[in-house]
Structures are given as structure tokens and as C-alpha cells.
Amino acid sequence: MSKKPFFISIIFTILLASGVLLFATYGNGPAPLGTPENKPETGGNAQHGPGLPARLIIGSIGVDASIIHVALDAKGNVDAPTTPHEVAWFQLGPRPGTQGSAVITGHYGPWQSGANSVFDNLRNLKTGSRIDVEDDRGAVRSFVVTGSRTYSPDESAEEVFNKDDGVYLNLITCSGDWLGDQKTYTERLVIFAKAI
């Protein structure tokens, strides 16, 4: 038996067919989230660009979370955070602070242990709210929220992954109502931010 029955896995499945398609799966229901190009860490290099993301800090909603780095497993899925209090950077995309759309995911909702999740208050972010990402070298990259959008599970969201005309950070979590029989939520919340 899973120790996390309310576990909301955010899994990205790469499907190869005339291009690379990226889908996010929350629980059992797939939610198309765009068609990004599969090119690791665009817009910077490991020695001269930002270091690897280590902490996500959002003071206005009390988030100070360690960042794990996730990539594809043997089945083509991206691992999700393993605890309710950490977040996951999708390392096949850009590092936060480099050109393109960096993506960080986190859990929403209660866990069997009674713990709350790191992104329970993400919906309270407003345009202009500040988000900081500290890298493994101690440098902090700051972003400002430009908007948010709620997606249905089957709705395409190419802009979450593919916008590359600037330096962006997009935060993704579940929202809406819990569907116990499907072990997922009815909606996906994306917070869009740009570097300042």
C-alpha cells in the first residue's frame, strides 16, 4: 500500500512521433502540456551560466523548498517530488535564469500523514509577486509573476514549455477538486513568471 494515497504525481511523458510531445500526468489522467523541443538546458552552459537550481523561495506564500532535479525514467516519465515539501525542476528544459521556459513542479493537497503540500497556496500568488531561485553556487535569480492560468487535464499548454523569447520560470501544480476514484485533481494551475 502506498504511503501517499493522496500523492499527486506530476509526470511528463515524452511521446516520439513526427516530433516530441510532452504530456503531464497527474494521477491517472493525462493532461497535454505542449510540444517542447527536447533540448537540455538551453540558453546557458554549466560553467558560465546559472548553477543548478537548489532552493525555491516564495516569501509571500511561505515557500522555502529544496529543489530536486528530475529527468526521464526508462518508461519516458519524469519523476515527481518524493515528499510534500520539495519541488522538482524539469532538467531537460532550461535552468532557471537561462533563455527559455524553466519548469518547476510541486505537490498540492493533503498527504496521508496529514502534511500539507508545498504548493497549497500557489493560487494566492498575484501579478507582481516575487519568486527567487537559489542555485548550488549561492547565486539567486529573481522572477516576477506575470500571470496564471488554470488548465483542464486534457487541454494543451504549449506556452508552458515552449516560450523562448526571454527568461521565464513556470510553476505547475494540481488544483480544483479531488477525484478519489482517479486519484487526481480536476485542474492544473500554472504560474507564469519572467526574470527581473
Residue 175 confidence (pLDDT): 92
Measured CA to CA in angstroms, residue 118 lies from 40, 56, 174 at distances of: 26, 10, 11
What does the block give as the cell for 178?
A: 479531488
C-alpha–C-alpha distance, residues 67 and 140, integer Å: 14
pLDDT of residue 33: 42
- Spatial CB neighbours of 53, under 8 Å, sequence gap ≥ 6: 67, 69, 89, 95, 96, 102, 104, 133, 134, 135, 136
Predicted confidence at residue 156, as pLDDT, reads 81
Write down the CATH superfamily of domain 10-39+51-195.
Answer: Sortase (2.40.260.10)
pLDDT (tens digit, 0 to 9) for every residue of the chain, 196 residues total? 333 333 333 333 322 222 223 333 333 333 334 434 444 444 444 557 899 999 999 999 999 999 999 986 666 655 678 899 999 999 999 999 999 999 999 999 998 898 999 999 999 999 999 999 999 999 999 999 999 999 987 788 788 888 999 999 999 999 999 998 887 889 999 999 999 9
Residue ranges covered by each domain of the chain? 10-39+51-195
Q: What is the pLDDT of residue 41?
A: 45
Q: Which amino acid is at 111?
A: W
The C-alpha cell that represents 88 in the structure block: 522538482
- The pairing of strands 10-16 and 167-179 is unpaired
CB 34 within 8 A of CB 14: no
What integer pLDDT is reported at residue 73 of this predicted model?
Answer: 60
The per-residue pLDDT for range 44-54, each reduced to its tens digit, is: 445 578 999 99
Task: Compute the distance between CA of residue 156 and CA of residue 109 in angstroms, rounded to an integer.
Answer: 23
Query: Which distant-in-sequence residues (6+ apart) come within 8 Å of 65 by Cβ?
Result: 55, 56, 57, 85, 86, 87, 106, 118
Helices first, then strands: H and E counts in the chain = 1, 11
